[in-house]
Each structure stands twice: as C-alpha cells, then as structure tokens.
Structure 1
C-alpha cells in the first residue's frame, strides 16, 4: 500500500522558513458509477502547507506539476512518482469495489475518498502521520499512528479495520512511511519551493451582504500562506453565536480565501458594535460592521453567480482543481483593478 522513492538528500533547508510545522497531504477521490461529463473517476492532489504541488487523474494517467519549481527540479523522480499514484489508484479502486459488496450496493454513484500524509516540526523533529478514509460523505476509517491501529466509527468498517490491524508487517511499513519517507519528501519540497513557500501576501477583507436582511459575510481573499483566523467581536468581546466559519478555498493565483458569516438582524448590529477581525502572518485587519462598509448587490460591486461541484467527506473536502473549481474568465488587469466575488446561493 505504501511506497518510497529515492530522491536527493537536502541539508540546511529550514533556516528562515516561515512556519515551524509543515504538512504534506495527498488526497484521492474515487467515483464509482456514472460521472458528470469530463469528470474523471479517480483524481489525486498533493499539497504542501496548503500549496498544490501536483495533480493526477485516471483520464490523463500522468502526474501534472502545478508549480514551476517542481516541474523543473523533479524530472528524475517524476516518472516513479507517477507510478506510485497509479498503484494507489488501483488499490483504491479495489477498496471501493469491496466496500460496495459489503454494503450490498450493486448500483448508483458512490464516492470513496482518502487523505494521507504527515506533519513535521523541523525545530523539534517531531512528526505525526494520518490516513483518513471517507465513503459517501461519511467518516469511514482513520489511523491512530501513535497506537499504530486503524479505527472505524461505523459497523461496516469493522471487518476492514480488523483485517488491516492484523497485518503487522504492513503496519510497520506504514510507520516507516509516515515517520521517515514522507518527512524526507517534505524536506525535499521545502528546499525546492522555499521562495514560493516563504512568500507572504496580505488578505483583502470585505463585508458582503446579498440584501439588507441577509447575513453578513466577512470575506478574506488573496492571502498566503493559508493559515488565517477570522473572528467576530461584539462590543469589544469575542462573539461566537450565530457565526458560521467557511472552509478554506484555493484561488487560481495560488492564494487562498475564507469566509465567516454572521447571521443577525440589522437592528441588532446597528445597536451594537460588531467587528470582523482577520488575523494573518502579514498582520491583523479589522472591519467595522456598518452600512458604509458593506458591499451588496446595490453597490458598484460586480457579483457573479457560479456553480462548482465539490465532493465532501466529514474529514476531507476534496476540490478537483482542474475540473470542479469555478473558472472566472477575467483578465488579471481587470480583477486587480476591480473586486469580484463569487456568491453561492442556496435555500
């Protein structure tokens, strides 16, 4: 199930890196059944600290680098790395077939997702690994690396967990994979992409409202790295009621965006002082909730409605970058001058 590839040894790479902890993640999504046109049955994305490194799917059957520094410097290992993705794809295809049989599912569209990788602290050299599986939007199997045991929150996963936990040789290979092989990959990619990974871009923060009675969305976009904290203050104190924090999403320019929605009536926020606070490595930005600060359909802001397809599991939200992200056909010169938002509407 797990494989290693030889690569150059990298030394002295971590000085000056912007983060102490680094996370390398590979996410697979497998769809069994009739899929939407042009959406592959299997896709995979690798990220380092939230930055996409590559993309693979069952249609192209080749690993596509998503960073220039990966494409140029990793040619010697790219072929081997592609073969690994193909091997894991075949394993996942078997997994979903067996799972459907155990659940007595002979037809329909089913989604199997897997996210695995490791977290490494370069100052302490501590590491941890994870291997999380989801099926049809539910948590299915997770790995406890410290105990070196798989667990399942659902009865259907117990037979699989028992089989995997009885394979001591495979568990030891898994431990080596998480504590050594993946750490070496993190070190290697950190050295290759240190210029891109060390960059810092401040978020652009706006308060957005569909109409005068709609919830107010605090929208932060265009920031890098991906770590951001969005909170609301009410009269100077942290406010958590009626607040829904959105998921972190990637932008096409390799930055990120995130939202926090405050669902209260206008009379409430007009009587009290509400502030959206966005904390990022580049600094802290505050937006006072006032009518002058809010952008809505009545303002000069151009609001575009978009459709995207996102397959989610409780542990994993997989965004198929090449196929499932919305595409906004606007020239860079245009969106740098104006401010665009994609508004998703739902009952």
Structure 2
C-alpha cells in the first residue's frame, strides 16, 4: 500500500558501513557518512562517475528483472530481485577477491564463480537463467572487470578518507534498562567504536557469570556498535544492589567505564496496573507496541538475510571490503 516505494534502490558500503544511497525516485547519490561527503566534495568527478554508473545499473537491473519474470513465466504479481556484489582487497598482499549473487523473492537464486566464469544455480528454477547467462560471455567479462579491477581501485580511493573513520575511538553511552520490577536489569552500551569491546557485571569488584546473560555486539546505522548484558536481580536484596556494577571496556580507552547498579538510574516503560489508562488510550498504546514488535521482526529478518550473504565471503586480517546492495520491486 505504500505509494512512494522506489522501483530500484542501491546502497554502497565499506566494511559493512553504508557510505552512500541511491534510488530511482531521487536519482542522486546521497552520502551517508561525513567522510563520504568530504570525498565527493573534493573529488566531484568521482561523484559524477558514481552517479553515471548507478543510473546504468538501474536500467540494467530493470532489464534483469524482466528476464527473470519472463523465464520464470511470471506475468503478474509483485516480485523482488536483489543483488549483492563487491570485492575484498588485502592492502598487505594485494590479493583481490570478488563476489556477486542474486536473490529472488527472498531466496538465494544464482551466483557467479569468478574463477571459472560460470554461473551457479542452487535452485532448479534458476537453471534456465544460468544457461542464458553462461552464454553471454561479454557480460561475464564485464562483471569480472568491475569486481576485480574497478572495485579495488575504488577502495584505494576511499582509504585516505576512510582511515580516520576507522582509527577513531568513540565512547558509548551506558544505561540501565528494565521491563518490569521483576525482570533482569539490562546494562546497555551504545555508540562505541571500534567493536573490540567487552561488557560484564561485577560484585564487590569481582567479575561474575552466574545470573548473567551477555548479548552479542551489534552494528548501529551510523557505523558505531551496541551491546548489552543482563543481570538477574530477582534474588538480590535491595541493600546489596550497590555491591554490583557494570563495566565496559573498549580498545583504545585507557580507563574502564564503570556504572554502579542503582535503582534510581534504571529506565523503564513499566506502569503499575493501577495507573493504566482506560478507553481509547489503551488501544493506542497497544497499537504502538504492535508497531514496535513488527519493526523489530523486520530488522531481524533483514539482518539475518545480510548475515547469510556475508558469511559466504570470509575476510583476511587487514583486508577492506566494498559492496553494493541492489533491490528492485516490480
């Protein structure tokens, strides 16, 4: 039901951080990082070249969608074609690895073996596309050139601007969160960089593990990271709370960030049943909760989808990765 959904959307990223975005409605390159804005300002010819390439890929991607629908005998209905492609460049050895694969309606569909120059079809429906694309030797050579030559050259152009972004150290904000008075207390750190960090609970200055559940380090949209660790406080006496603290350690920081467990510092949305609003307000609150839950599911699905694609290409220490993600709705 969304009326302004772009037919084609393309994003570029370096080391999993989005650096620019493009869609078929605005038809312009939108830098997503300060260093990207600086790069395009100092090198307007690079911005123009990027835009020309994206406009070319926009049309190419629409052509690919037509091929998919025609070969799969799909004349009606909505379908989604996704492409993820890029390169890894090791700045020590100079080794370059390229990768490209397509997803169709949410499933892995076809990928290119750059060494043999042949397409791999994991699904039987993709075999007809494989035969068609295997015969197009010029297209395969073009893709190989883009991923093995043009892509690493772009990475090398980015490095002087990207280096200061990579070498920075950003302190997080640390807060205590709790759903209900009987729920575990979550120590949440967000906005830190790099991702070489640790978050743990202590009692009387000694690290504890019993009653503690530590979460994974997750990326934020701005290139920073977040993580959390929960402490089960149901069996802790009120007078003993101040014996506990949450410790955050970050590579590049000489001092730990220590937060003492204090009930007055805990943030919560919990409201006692006696204070619940009645009538339409309750319905409105329920609507907000439902919206938040749906958003969370969508984010998890997208993250899992991307993780599955990225796991196919392991990077060596010291390597940089550039990739572009394409999605088309037709």
| Structure-1-length-normalised TM-score | 0.60
Does the CA-based 8 Å contact 1:137-1:313 persist in structure 2?
no
1:224 aligns with 2:193: yes
Give the 3 Å change call, closer, same or farther, for CA 312–132 of structure 1 in structure 2: farther
Does the CA-based 8 Å contact 2:185-2:233 persist in structure 1?
no
Larger Rg over CA atoms: 2
Report the counterpart of residue 27 of structure 2 in structure 1.
Answer: 61
Alignment of structure 1 residues 172-191 onto 2, 5 Å? 172-191=141-160
Does the CA-based 8 Å contact 2:196-2:250 persist in structure 1?
yes
Report the counterpart of residue 118 of structure 1 in structure 2.
Answer: 87
Report the counterpart of residue 312 of structure 1 in structure 2.
Answer: 302
More helix by share: 2
* Equivalent-residue separation in structure 2 for 1:146 and 1:231 (angstroms): 43
1:250 aligns with 2:221: yes
* Equivalent-residue separation in structure 1 for 2:60 and 2:43 (angstroms): 25
Report the counterpart of residue 342 of structure 1 in structure 2.
Answer: none
Does the CA-based 8 Å contact 1:145-1:175 persist in structure 2?
yes
Give the 3 Å change call, closer, same or farther, for CA 154–290 of structure 1 in structure 2: farther
1:296 aligns with 2:296: no
The one of 34, 37, 41 aligned to 2:7 = 41
Give the 3 Å change call, closer, same or farther, for CA 112–218 of structure 1 in structure 2: farther
Give the 3 Å change call, closer, same or farther, for CA 97–172 of structure 1 in structure 2: closer
Give the 3 Å change call, closer, same or farther, for CA 168–94 of structure 1 in structure 2: closer
* Equivalent-residue separation in structure 2 for 1:277 and 1:155 (angstroms): 52
Alignment of structure 1 residues 266-345 onto 2, 5 Å? 280-283=250-253, 292=263, 295-297=267-269, 312=302, 315-316=305-306
Give the 3 Å change call, closer, same or farther, for CA 136–121 of structure 1 in structure 2: same
* Equivalent-residue separation in structure 2 for 1:257 and 1:285 (angstroms): 17
Report the counterpart of residue 140 of structure 1 in structure 2.
Answer: 109
Report the counterpart of residue 85 of structure 1 in structure 2.
Answer: 54
Does the CA-based 8 Å contact 1:69-1:193 persist in structure 2?
no
Give the 3 Å change call, closer, same or farther, for CA 162–216 of structure 1 in structure 2: farther
* Equivalent-residue separation in structure 2 for 1:182 and 1:131 (angstroms): 12
Question: Helix, strand or coil: the match of 1:312?
Answer: helix
Report the counterpart of residue 240 of structure 2 in structure 1.
Answer: none
Give the 3 Å change call, closer, same or farther, for CA 238–60 of structure 1 in structure 2: same
Q: What are the superposed Cα offsets for residues 307-333 of structure 1, whole Å, 9 maximum, x if unpaired? A: 657583854389xxxxxxxxxxxxxxx
The one of 49, 53, 73 aligned to 2:42 = 73
* Equivalent-residue separation in structure 2 for 1:194 and 1:218 (angstroms): 31
* Equivalent-residue separation in structure 2 for 1:269 and 1:138 (angstroms): 47
* Equivalent-residue separation in structure 2 for 1:212 and 1:245 (angstroms): 24
Q: What are the superposed Cα offsets for residues 121-142 of structure 1, whole Å, 9 maximum, x if unpaired? A: 2122222222132223322233
Does the CA-based 8 Å contact 2:178-2:268 persist in structure 1?
yes
* Equivalent-residue separation in structure 2 for 1:285 and 1:101 (angstroms): 59
* Equivalent-residue separation in structure 2 for 1:147 and 1:279 (angstroms): 46
Aligned residues: 273
Does the CA-based 8 Å contact 1:138-1:313 persist in structure 2?
no
